[in-house]
Amino acid sequence: MTGTALLEVADLRVAFPSAAGMVEAVRGIDLAIAPGEAVGLLGESGSGKSVSSLALMRLVAAPGRVRASKLAFDGHDLLTLGDGAMQALRGRAMAMVFQDPQTALNPAFRVGSQLLHVLRAHERLAPAVARNRVHEILELVGLPDPPRVMRAYPHELSGGMRQRALIGMALIARPRLLIADEPTTALDVTVQAQIVDLFRRLRRELDLTLLFITHNLDLMAELCDRALVMYAGLIVEAGPVEALFAAPRHPYTRMLLECVPRLEPERRALTVIRGMPPRPGAALPGCPFAPRCPGADDRCRTSRPLEQRRGEHRVACWQAAP
């Protein structure tokens, strides 16, 4: 990755209290996003990808604990920023779209009011100007008849429309970075495709930097330039999307790709990865994937793999060819 990064994260750890003491859901990940890039964060449920994104926005509430050796956005050190300054950044500099549009919008306020609130929290505008901006953004996200949408309550809109409205809300204050946490998971497949198209268009038209979190390989491939694969709170592989798909270096990535059902002339049984991801808090002396990895040896089980780089493509695996 060249040039100054918009977002730089080093050794991010997020821990939560449990009956057995503080348990790390994110065990030390590094991440950097350049302006204009679309980066995908891939992983299954429980891998820590959503928690990581919340940590980036400093939305992890106490008693959860966020630590990092570096967490910087556009030069601002997010670790030392006060609450007021952080609140000003959210929505204006970096914004987030969540998974479930049904619950993410406030049922007691009209959609237009919620959008106006966000806009006014960041910019001083005359009421008429503000309304125009809301109309613009609603059109931008592909919602027909903005006045009707503005007047509507969330429950009066369909799932796809709600998600578009949410995306609009995230973008209305013109942030530079948009984090989308599984924005299509709660939607029908046809609607999913539309939302992905929307993201593509928004990237082009607004020159938006995107962090796209998902467990769906295909969506990620359509939208992202680079991807990071997360497992059990760690990044196991990262690199350009083409390289990842063409030549995956980590066993987990390889098996993920094999799991995707494909239309082929010969019938084949669906591949599954045996076993379950480790529970948060489980002791992991070595590589977290070792219990499920067919090629694991003693070194894999006892010591955490060091990262190996081949240009832009990095992987954390003892078995990976250098």
Partner 1 sequence: MGNALRRVAFSGFVLFVVSLLLFFLTRAIPVSPARIVLGADATEEQVAVFDRDLGLDRPVLVQYAGWIGGILRGELGNSYITNRPLGAQIAQSFPITLELVCLAFAFALIVAIPLGVLSALNAGRAVDHAARLFAVIGVSIPGFWLGLLLIVQLAVPTGLFPPGGYVPLSRGLGAHLNSLMLPAFTLGIHYVAVLSRLTRSSMLDALSQDYIRTARAMGLPAPLVWLYAFKNAAAPVVGVAAMSFGYCFGWALIIEQVFNIAGLSRALLTGIRERDYPLIQLITLIITAIFIAANLAADLLNRALNPRLGAATQ
Q: Which residues bind partner 1 (CB under 8 A)?
A: 57, 59, 87-92, 95-96, 98, 100, 103-109, 117-118, 121-122, 153, 155-156, 166, 169-170, 173
* Closest approach of partner 1 to the CB of residue 170, in Å: 7
CA distance 30 to 70: 9
Q: Which is nearer to partner 1, 2 or 45 (CB)?
A: 45
CA distance 2 to 22: 37
* Closest approach of partner 1 to the CB of residue 84, in Å: 9
> In 165-188, which positions are buried (b, 16+ CB within 10 angstroms) versus exposed (e)?
bbbbbbbbbbbbbbbbbbbbebbe
Looking up tokens 């081949």, which residue turns up? Answer: 310
Q: Which is nearer to partner 1, 63 or 261 (CB)?
A: 63
Amino acid residing at 172: I
Give the CA distances from residue 81 to residues 8, 13, 75, 266, 307, in Å, rounded to whole numbers and listed in that order: 15, 18, 12, 57, 30
* Closest approach of partner 1 to the CB of residue 114, in Å: 8
* Closest approach of partner 1 to the CB of residue 175, in Å: 9
Strand, coil or helix: what is 200? helix
Q: Which is nearer to partner 1, 117 or 279 (CB)?
A: 117
Amino acid residing at 243: A
Q: Which is nearer to partner 1, 53 or 214 (CB)?
A: 53
If one counts every other C-beta atom within 10 angstroms of the C-beta of residue 313, the result is 18
Q: Which is nearer to partner 1, 156 or 242 (CB)?
A: 156
* Closest approach of partner 1 to the CB of residue 183, in Å: 12
CA 281 to chain centre: 23
* Closest approach of partner 1 to the CB of residue 122, in Å: 6
Q: Which is nearer to partner 1, 69 or 106 (CB)?
A: 106
CA distance 137 to 143: 9
- Strand intervals (E) in the chain: 7-18, 21-33, 38-42, 65-67, 70-73, 76-77, 94-97, 177-181, 209-214, 226-231, 234-240, 307-310, 313-316
* Closest approach of partner 1 to the CB of residue 118, in Å: 4
Q: Which is nearer to partner 1, 81 or 221 (CB)?
A: 81
CA distance 229 to 43: 6
